[in-house]
Structures are given as structure tokens and as C-alpha cells.
């Protein structure tokens, strides 16, 4: 049986020996650390839904290489239906966790490597694709979590990797050996890195021949010697260290980002999928970006569902749910959220088969999807904060609420409608705070801007992807400037 349960996944993490630092201290037991554990719970949900009969068709798939039933997060897309199911699964999990569940990047990395390693073998005569398939069997057979590591520190953005004063500001090959390679550098903003079994490294940008040492892709176990994890700081994260529950907003789940240091890490050849083939760095980045921008149509609409539900709930608790202005704001929130989801479904439905057999999304529509995500969640958050009121950021703490001396005043004066307990009102307010500006914003608002690339990167791809000559021709034909049979006009 290749499908792990959530409990089995958590136990599997205890077998690793990671080097993790958080708030300036080394963490000996990441699994049970109160700041880290909520993010582990989120990822655990990806295993639980795969074992739930209600979601079997959505959360699992049949491996195209082994024929076994596997978790969809380790699957290689074999049809547009697979692409659509991915988006639907991500929305489901976003709604269940209310935050980032950290498994999308690894899934997108696997599918990207499936395409690019095949193309490299076809054009260069390498054997990367067979290496990748063997690695994929291992990942699928053990139902592993893969961290996709792409973003480099980058240093001076005006300089190429090989031009940097410090050559390690992009991860690079420092030694080629008979048995493998040695790499040095760092990867930034790594979603779910501390919660992963495997780290899949990819180049972060286009490369030239002078940059060939930076054109490298490989996979290694997350506890490989030389890896150091520095846990990312989130707003309000130390609330998890307090003896509180509802002050954290999301009482069970959380997101996670980390910086990974590669301190002269050895990688055996069988796990190397690119080694100096600089001309394939851009196709890898391009394909990965398309997949990951598609992902946001699912996960962000799922978390959006939670935030919209919280906004509607606080409106009820405040006694204003029937106000026409409140209802109109909630309609607008739903309109924006469903638009994000629609783009995710559209780019999936318009996907095409690549030479490797792996299906790739419509790249233009995937970039449209992510570009909407850089805007719409911010407006959804603004409307949620508008509906919630100023108490969202001025409410007393849970400890004040439970204090035997002053708790009665918090209970009395922060009550909304009479039938709803004050605690419930505070809980919903903290959840809105969590998603919009606190612990959960890493998986919603802030990540919506820079995750999968900044807005300008999508605008560049939109400009490249749109056939403007075709659009001009349509206009000229209708205006009578050019003549052409309608049958010749592209759809």
C-alpha cells in the first residue's frame, strides 16, 4: 500500500535528522515544536483526504509508470482531467486548512522535470529522463513530500549569476566528481521545507554559457549532510508559544517557509537531472512557473472560501448580516474568489500534451490566473477587514478574556448579538486576523503577491503569450483594411 495516512506521515518525519534553526536557536525536535507543528498538521491533511473515500477520485490517481493507486501530489498529469482535478483538490484543501498545505511546489517540480528531462534526452542524448523515472517510482512508492527549491538569494539583481561578486548567491556546482557533484548556495522562501522528505532543486532563471555551473537540478533527502534550515518569521508567530488557543486564529493549521543553506552538499549522479545544460534552464523555469501559477487558482480560492465565510459569520455576530451594503461586499468577495478559481480551471481545461506525454497547462491563461491572484486576495482581505470592524486589531487577548478579575468585562462589553457567545465572536475575529495579516497571511495575502513570481513576471509572460498580430489582423479585416476568408481566421 503506497498511501500513507496523516499519522504515518507525521511519524515518518521523526526518522529524519534535520539541522533546523528557529528564532536563533537550534531545534532538536521540529515535529513537536509548537511553532512548527501547525504547518505539519496542514500537510498531514493532504494524506488524510487521500484516504477518505469521499475524495478518492480527487485526491488519488493511478501511476502511469507502476499502475498503483498513489497520492495525486506525486502524480504526473496524463490528461486535462488530471489538471482540472489538481485545481479542485487544492481548493478543497485550502478550505479545510485555511492556510498553505505546502505540497503544491513539489508536485509542480515533478511534472516540470518529467517534461524537461525528456526533452533534454531527445536533443542531447543524455539519460536524465530515465534517472527521473526511477526517482519518481521511489517518491510514489513511499508517498513522499517533495520540497521544490527554485528561488535563489540573487544578490545584485542587475548581474547574472556568474557576474556576482559572491558566486554563491545563486546555487552552483563547485565540484564534479566520478560519483556525483558537490553544490553550494542557498534557496529562499521554501514552502514546507522542514516538513519534507525530499528537496528538489531547480535553477531560478534563464542562463548563458558563462552561467553553466548554475544550471543544475537534482533531488536529495531533506536530511542530507550539509543542509541547514533557517525557519522563516511570521507575524504573530510567538502566539503559538503562549498558553492560548483562539488567539492564534487558526487553532490547528499553519503555513511554513524556510531558508535552506547548501553547505557543500554532495549529490550522487543518479539524482542529478541537469548539470550544466544552461540552454534548458529557461524551459524548466517556464514550465514550472506555468504549473505553479495554475496552482494558485485552487489553493487561494480555497483559503478565500474560509475568509469569506468568516466575514459573513462576523457580520451575523455583529447583527449586520441583513444590511444591503454588507451583502453587496460579500457578493464582491465571492465574485473575485470565483474569478480566481475560474482561471485555474480554464488554464487546466486548455492544457496540452507534451512530447513526454505529460500534460501542461495553457501557459498564457496560467499567467492570467496568477496575475489576478496578485490583486484579488488583497481586495477580499480589505472587504473582510471592512466588515469585521476596528475590533479586528484592538480586541483584548485570550488571556484577558479568561482572567478571573477582568474577563467578565471583556465578556460583557465585547458581546455582539445576544444569542452568540462573546468567545465565538473573538474566535472569528482572530481567524480573520490570521488570514489577512497574521499567521495565515503567509499562505494567503502576502504569498499571493510574490509566490510563483512577482506581478511583473506574469505581465512579461502575458505579453509573450498573446498573439497581437492576430488581434490586429482581426481588426483590419473588420475595418476593411485587409481581406481574408473567415475560415482562415484562427479561433
Residues classed as catalytic = 100, 104, 191, 257, 292, 296, 299, 447
Looking at the DSSP assignment, which residues form a beta bridge with residue 119? Answer: none
C-alpha cell, 123: 536533443
Q: By CB neighbour count within 10 A (0-12 exposed, 13-18 middle, 19+ buried), where does 282 fall?
A: middle
How far, in Å, CA of 300 to CA of 341, rounded?
8
Q: By CB neighbour count within 10 A (0-12 exposed, 13-18 middle, 19+ buried), where does 80 fall?
A: middle
How far, in Å, CA of 292 to CA of 223, rounded?
25
439, 254 contact by CB (below 8 A): yes
Q: How far is CA 273 from the centre of its chain?
A: 22
How far, in Å, CA of 53 to CA of 389, rounded?
41
Widest CA span in the chain: 84
Query: Which phi and psi angles does 50 have, rounded to 5°?
Result: -70, -25
CB atoms within 10 A of CB 462: 15
DSSP assignments along 147-179, one per residue: EEE-----SSTTS-GGG-SSGGGS-EEEEE-SS
168, 211 contact by CB (below 8 A): no
Q: How far is CA 181 from the centre of its chain?
A: 29
Q: Which residue has the cell 522542514?
A: 194
250, 440 contact by CB (below 8 A): yes
Angle of CA points 369, 139, 187, to nearest 5°: 60
Q: Which residue has the cell 503544491?
A: 104
Strands of the sheet with 227-231, listed across from one edge = 25-27, 20-22, 227-231, 257-268, 180-191, 172-176
Quick one: angle between helices 104-124 and 128-142, nearest 10?
160
Which residues contact residue 307 at a Cβ distance below 8 angstroms, ignoring those fewer than 6 apart?
333, 380, 381, 384, 432, 435, 436, 444
Amino acid at each position: 500500500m503506497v498511501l500513507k495516512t496523516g499519522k504515518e506521515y507525521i511519524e515518518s518525519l521523526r526518522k529524519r535528522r534535520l539541522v533546523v534553526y528557529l528564532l536563533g536557536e537550534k531545534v532538536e525536535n521540529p515535529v513537536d515544536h509548537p511553532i512548527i507543528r501547525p504547518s505539519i498538521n496542514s500537510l498531514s491533511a493532504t494524506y488524510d483526504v487521500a484516504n477518505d473515500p469521499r475524495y478518492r477520485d480527487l485526491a488519488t490517481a493511478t501511476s502511469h509508470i507502476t499502475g498503483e493507486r498513489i497520492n495525486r501530489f506525486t502524480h504526473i498529469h496524463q490528461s486535462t482531467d488530471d489538471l482540472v482535478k489538481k485545481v479542485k483538490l487544492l481548493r478543497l484543501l485550502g478550505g479545510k486548512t485555511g492556510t498553505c498545505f505546502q505540497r503544491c511546489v513539489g508536485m509542480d517540480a515533478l511534472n516540470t522535470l518529467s517534461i524537461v528531462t525528456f526533452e533534454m534526452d531527445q536533443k542531447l542524448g543524455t539519460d536524465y529522463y530515465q534517472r527521473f523515472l526511477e526517482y519518481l517510482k521511489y517518491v510514489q512508492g513511499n508517498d513522499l513530500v517533495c520540497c521544490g527549491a527554485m528561488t535563489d538569494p540573487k544578490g545584485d539583481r542587475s548581474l547574472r549569476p556568474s557576474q556576482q561578486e559572491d558566486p554563491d548567491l545563486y546555487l552552483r556546482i563547485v565540484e564534479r566528481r566520478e560519483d556525483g557533484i558537490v553544490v553550494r548556495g542557498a534557496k529562499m522562501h521554501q514552502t514546507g521545507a522542514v516538513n519534507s522528505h525530499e528537496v528538489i532543486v531547480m535553477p531560478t532563471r534563464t542562463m548563458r554559457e558563462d552561467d553553466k555551473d548554475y544550471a543544475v537540478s537534482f533531488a536529495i533527502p531533506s536530511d542530507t549532510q550539509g543542509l541547514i534550515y533557517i525557519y522563516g518569521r511570521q507575524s504573530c508567530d510567538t502566539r503559538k508559544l503562549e498558553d492560548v488557543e483562539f488567539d492564534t486564529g487558526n487553532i490547528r493549521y499553519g503555513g511554513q517557509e524556510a531558508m535552506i543553506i547548501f553547505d557543500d552538499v554532495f549529490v550522487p549522479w543518479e539524482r542529478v537531472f541537469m548539470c550544466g545544460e544552461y540552454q534548458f534552464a529557461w524551459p524548466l523555469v517556464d514550465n514550472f512557473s506555468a504549473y505553479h501559477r495554475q496552482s494558485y487558482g485552487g489553493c487561494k480560492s480555497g483559503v478565500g472560501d474560509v475568509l469569506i465565510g468568516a466575514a459573513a459569520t462576523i457580520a451575523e455576530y455583529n447583527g449586520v448580516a441583513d444590511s444591503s451594503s454588507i451583502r453587496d461586499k460579500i457578493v464582491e468577495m465571492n465574485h473575485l474568489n470565483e474569478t480566481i478559481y475560474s482561471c485555474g480551471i480554464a488554464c487546466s481545461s486548455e492544457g496540452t500534451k507534451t512530447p513526454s506525454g505529460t500534460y501542461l497547462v495553457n501557459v498564457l491563461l496560467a499567467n492570467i490566473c496568477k496575475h489576478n491572484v496578485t490583486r484579488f486576495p488583497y481586495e477580499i482581505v480589505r472587504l473582510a477587514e471592512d466588515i469585521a470592524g476596528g475590533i479586528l486589531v484592538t480586541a483584548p487577548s485570550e488571556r484577558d478574556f479568561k482572567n478571573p478579575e477582568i474577563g467578565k468585562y471583556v465578556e460583557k462589553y465585547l458581546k455582539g448579538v445576544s444569542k452568540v457567545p462573546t468567545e465565538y465572536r473573538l474566535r472569528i475575529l482572530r481567524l480573520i486576523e490570521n488570514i489577512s495579516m497574521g499567521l495565515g497571511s503567509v499562505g494567503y495575502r502576502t504569498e499571493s503577491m510574490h509566490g510563483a513570481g512577482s506581478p511583473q513576471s506574469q505581465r512579461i509572460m502575458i505579453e509573450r503569450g498573446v498573439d497581437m498580430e492576430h488581434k490586429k489582423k482581426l481588426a483590419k479585416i473588420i475595418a476593411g483594411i485587409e481581406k481574408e476568408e473567415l475560415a482562415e481566421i484562427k479561433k
